[in-house]
Structures are given as C-alpha cells and as structure tokens.
Amino acid sequence: MEFIKISEKKDFAVVTLDRGKVNAINHQMVVELRQVVKMLAERTEIRGLIITGKPDYFSAGLDIVELYEYDYTQIKDFWHQFLRMMIDLVKFPKPSIAAISGHSPAGGAIIALTCDHRIMAEGSKYLIGLNEVAVGISIAKSIFDLYAFWLGSRVAYQALMTGKLFNIIEAREIGLIDEIVPLENLQSHVENMMKVQLMPNDYILQTTKKVMRQDLIRKIDVDLSAEIDERCAFWMSPESRKSLKFFVEKITQRK
C-alpha cells in the first residue's frame, strides 16, 4: 500500500491515511482503502478499526487538481470506487472510530461519518463537514442519507445546500463529532476508547451494529450506475469544467 498505512494493536487495527501533506483523496487512495477494509473485515482476529490521518489534516477531501485531469472513463471509475468505498465502510461489521486529526472537509468527512464514533483533535481552525456544493460538486443521495443518519434530515439538508463547514464546537453541538481532545492525546484516547468498545463479545457487537445500521445500508447499498452516469456527464460539461478550473487555479496558486 502506498497511501494507506496499517498497524495492529493486539485485537484492533489502526489505518492511517498517508498521501501528501493534506491527505487529498485520489483514485489509488480510494482503491487501497477499499482493499484494506475488505481484508480487515475478513480477519477474525481483528475486532475493531481506527481510522486516522496526519497532524492537522485527517483529509482535505478530494484531490480536485488531479481529478480535474481525469477523462470520462477515469472519473466514472473514480466515482464508482469512491461511493462503493463509502458503502464498504458503512457496512464494516466491527466497531470503528475516526480519530480526526485535523481538517476534515468533504471526502474526509465522509470517511469519518462511516465510523461509529468520531473523536476530533482540538484546534480553533479545524473544520469538518460536506462543502461539495460550494466547490461545484453535486451531492449523491447516498451521501445525504449518511449525513442525515447522524445529523437528522433538516440539519443535513440545510448544511448541504450551503456547503457549510463546521468548527469543532459547532460540530460537537450538532452531533457531527462526539468528543474533542488535544491533538497530542488523540491517538491514546481513541485506542483506550476502542479497548472499552471491544469488551463485549464479537457476536453482540456485530449483531447490534448490523441492527442499528440496517435501514441506512438498505438506502445506500443500491445500484449507483445511473446516478454515476449523470454525475460524470455534468462533470465533463463546459459549465462544470469552468467552475472546476477556477477552483483548481485557486488551489495551485496557494502552493
């Protein structure tokens, strides 16, 4: 694996997103994460999963600069892999915790939202949420369903329509994250939390999680081909290319 690192802590695994300074998500990173999640789901000795990132950046979201250069076939495969990655993580049968080590907009927030708990590092500038609309990317129904699962339909609806990003205090107030801890204590805190989570036996843990997520899974684990085709057609349209190019230029000028 090039962009996903795995370490094992007795009976659970820590998966670290590791791509560049800000952990921007590209096609290869998504494919690697899907492979890792499948492998960990099948290994009976691994009873839980922690997903984390780098100091200050859990993930800055999609690598729009790279995705902008994809042709139609490449972007179609990317969206297929990305949305299936989200579904794989939602269906992961074992306890999962996101150790959100910093900024987590868009794709980063989606990865965190698939977990059972979200613990975020303390930082006045850290932001989390789904800002796709503000960037010029439409929201898939499955992403709305996932957001609404945690925030409720009304809050999710209004936040998505404005592309709002939340600071850590706002995020905790609306239930987007569960706790805030100092960055230097984040990993140890989450690992201790996982140990407590794993005290019941696996049958109890996994059947309970399955029951609580079955309605969400039924909503999102569907045929996405028509939605992806529509999304890709718009992605390649002159209108979309113009807005994406403007955003790409803003990013590259900061570098």
pLDDT tens by residue, 92-151: 999 999 999 999 999 999 999 999 999 999 998 999 999 999 888 889 999 999 999 999
User: Residue 244 has which token pair?
Assistant: 């994406």
Looking at residues 5-33, what average pLDDT do you find? 97
Q: Is 80 exceeded by the pLDDT of residue 254?
A: no
pLDDT value for 255: 61
Cβ contacts of 16 within 8 Å, gap of 6 or more: 4, 5, 6, 7, 51, 52, 53, 54
Look at the pTM and tell me if it is higher than 0.85: yes
Tell me the domains of the chain and their CATH numbers: 4-183 (3.90.226.10)
Report the distance separating Cα 103 and Cα 110, nearest Å: 12
